[in-house]
Amino acid sequence: MSLARATELGSRLRGNDTSRATGINMSTTTAGIAVPLKDDASFPLAIAYIGIGANLGDARANVVDALARLQRQPGCTLMAASSMYRTAPIDSSGDDYINAVARIATTLDAETLLQALHAIEQAHGRERPYRNAPRTLDLDLLLYADQTISSPTLTVPHPRMHERAFVLMPLLELAPGIVIPGHGPAQECAASPAVQAQAIARLVTSQQT
């Protein structure tokens, strides 16, 4: 994506479109958008989608803070955030999760972006006592441009995103026509009976739920 395209997108997202698309915290996700990009000398620019989840502590506050931290992250610009969703734990335990998806424009390569996501998780005291344990904050790199990545530390697309309503529903809110490399249109993934059976509720605003 060119800087001109990103600037055009950012400009559009500063307007009403973002207000409609974003149910999390308007001031966080609209007023914080910086256009042109902070690292405008660094190219190429990639669009990435980040899955955000929390079910420990003040999960909603953690999700909102994660968005603010993504915006402040050098090399990243937060372009849009989905509504928040309350979701039943999948292959996990504890309270219901709060989930959302963010779209960012970034000059970071995928591995560097993953490290930045881990640093944000750690700022929230993320602990990993066992796999899929309840967590204060989980940030997954869902999609990075149209790339397929398989390294010891990073798999993109995220290997389970196509079978999870808590990823697909917020992602489709931001990008209805998006295709998951290797899995096809996200809309088709979301229509599968297994995904349809998962309990998920969109939180229209943080005050109404």
Q: Which two tokens stand for residue 147?
A: 């790339």
CA 102/CA 87 separation, integer angstroms? 17
The DSSP line for 134-183 is --S-EEEEEEETT--EE-SS-EES-TTGGG-HHHHHHHHHH-TT-EETTT
Shorter beta-carbon distance to Mg ion: residue 138 or 173: 138
181 forms part of the interface with ligand A4P (CB under 6 A): no
CB 89, min distance to ligand A4P, A: 5
User: Is residue 55 helix, strand or coil?
Assistant: coil
CB 189, min distance to ligand A4P, A: 15
90 forms part of the interface with ligand A4P (CB under 6 A): yes
The angle, 0 to 180 degrees and rounded to 10, between the axes of the packed helices 59-72 and 110-123 is: 140
CB 172, min distance to ligand A4P, A: 16
158 forms part of the interface with ligand A4P (CB under 6 A): yes
Q: Are 15 and 106 in contact (CB under 8 A)?
A: no
Give the binding range for ligand A4P (CB under 6 A) out of 15-23, 26-34, 89-97, 168-176: 89-97
Q: Are 71 and 32 in contact (CB under 8 A)?
A: yes
Shorter beta-carbon distance to ligand A4P: residue 62 or 107: 62
Q: Are 130 and 94 in contact (CB under 8 A)?
A: no
- Choosing among Mg ion, ligand A4P, none, which partner's interface includes residue 148 (Cβ < 5 to 8 Å by kind)? none
138 forms part of the interface with Mg ion (CB under 5 A): yes
User: Is residue 8 helix, strand or coil?
Assistant: helix
CA 70/CA 76 separation, integer angstroms? 7
Shorter beta-carbon distance to ligand A4P: residue 30 or 73: 73
Shorter beta-carbon distance to ligand A4P: residue 77 or 99: 99
Give the binding range for ligand A4P (CB under 6 A) out of 35-43, 66-74, 76-84, 147-155: 147-155
173 forms part of the interface with ligand A4P (CB under 6 A): no
Residues that bind ligand A4P (CB under 6 A): 53, 87-92, 97, 99, 114, 128, 131-132, 138, 140-141, 153-156, 158, 160, 166
